[in-house]
Chains A and B, each alone.
Chain A
Amino acid sequence: DQQVKQNSPSLSVQEGRISILNCDYTNSMFDYFLWYKKYPAEGPTFLISISSIKDKNEDGRFTVFLNKSAKHLSLHIVPSQPGDSAVYFCAAESNYQLIWGAGTKLIIKP
């Protein structure tokens, strides 16, 4: 039973355009959501997070939106850059435990 789902295994976006990565969850008890980015042969690195009491959090080119009624969050990257090519994981936290999605591979085309 996957509590956190990233339904798109991969996404290809033109450099300079907006990248939108999506994540759905089933457990309404999650109180915090995070996005991590992972390059090959490296561990994931923290990107941005959002508390369940908010619906938007912005950090530079990265914005995370949370729609609690739809149990959906998304990560927007504007503008997309070649260095953004990586695998992006969303994760949801409840009671000290993080539940992770399977990841979406983002490819930025020049």
Chain B
Amino acid sequence: KAGVTQTPRYLIKTRGQQVTLSCSPISGHRSVSWYQQTPGQGLQFLFEYFSETQRNKGNFPGRFSGRQFSNSRSEMNVSTLELGDSALYLCASSLDRTDTSPLHFGNGTRLTVT
């Protein structure tokens, strides 16, 4: 079974631009979550989608948005990029967000904003 696939692996953008990151979950997984990881900050939850609906949202500004398609693939968009948005963005999928369904992470997209 293929794992969670995130594209692209690396991205360099300049301030003010917008960016779209893509995530393909494990086949059969309907829940997709997005996280931002910065050094010393752990993983900060962005949002979670289940069956094309945003089920939960973290404490990030409206510049961060996402969506999920009918095949469970998900995209995350960041508009008007700021230097502080430089981070590793991780996508994780699970069958559902329950105690018995741990998250499976992709290898992330490393975004650098200059």
Q: Is B61 an interface residue (CB 8 A)?
A: no
On whether A96 and B56 interact (CB within 8 A), knowing A43-B106, A49-B102, the answer reads: yes
Q: Does B84 touch A at the CB level, under 8 Å?
A: no
Chain B residue numbers with a CB within 8 Å of A4 are 42
| Contact between chains at B43 and A44 (CB < 8 Å) | yes
Bound CA–CA A96/B69 (angstroms): 20
> Hey, which chain A residues are within 8 Å of B43, CB to CB?
44, 89, 91, 98, 100
Within 8 A of B (CB), among A66-110: 89, 91, 93, 95-103
Tell me how far the C-beta of A92 lies from the nearest C-beta in chain B, rounded to whole angstroms: 12
Tally the A-B contacts, defined by beta carbons under 8 Å: 57
Total contacting residues, chain B, CB less than 8 A: 24
- Check B42–A49 contact: CB distance below 8 A: no
Inter-subunit contact B48/A44 (CB<8 Å): no
Contact check, B40 vs A96: say whether CB atoms are below 8 A apart.
no
A49 near B99: Cβ-Cβ < 8 Å: yes
- Closest chain-B Cβ to A31's Cβ sits at a distance in Å of 8
Q: What residues of chain B have their CB less than 8 Å away from a CB belonging to chain A?
A: 4, 33, 35, 40-45, 48, 55-56, 58, 90, 92, 97, 99, 102-108
Q: Which A residues are within 8 Å of any B CB, using their own CB?
A: 4, 6, 9, 31-32, 34, 36, 41-46, 49, 51, 89, 91, 93, 95-103
Known contacts A49-B99, A102-B40, A102-B42; 17 additional CB pairs below 8 A are A32-B99, A34-B102, A36-B103, A36-B105, A42-B107, A43-B92, A43-B107, A43-B108, A45-B104, A45-B105, A96-B97, A97-B45, A97-B58, A98-B43, A98-B45, A98-B103, A99-B45
